Amino acid sequence: MNLVKKSIAVALLAGIGFAAVAQERVYVIDQRDAVATSG
């Protein structure tokens, strides 16, 4: 049972990390668009 809880915790942390990376990439893309359109 303890292994199941650890597996769930790892999966949640991995999901949170992936979401953070995805948001960061979207932000970088938005910044590039803003720079491109301002010029």
Mean pLDDT of 12-25: 78
Calculate mean pLDDT across residues 9-29.
78
- Alpha helix (H) residue ranges in the chain: 2-38
pTM, whole model, 2 decimals? 0.43
3/6 Cα distance (integer angstroms): 5
Is the predicted pLDDT of residue 33 greater than 60, yes or no?
Answer: yes
Q: pLDDT band at residue 8, thresholds of 50, 70 and 90?
A: confident
Asked if pLDDT for residue 9 goes beyond 60, the answer is yes
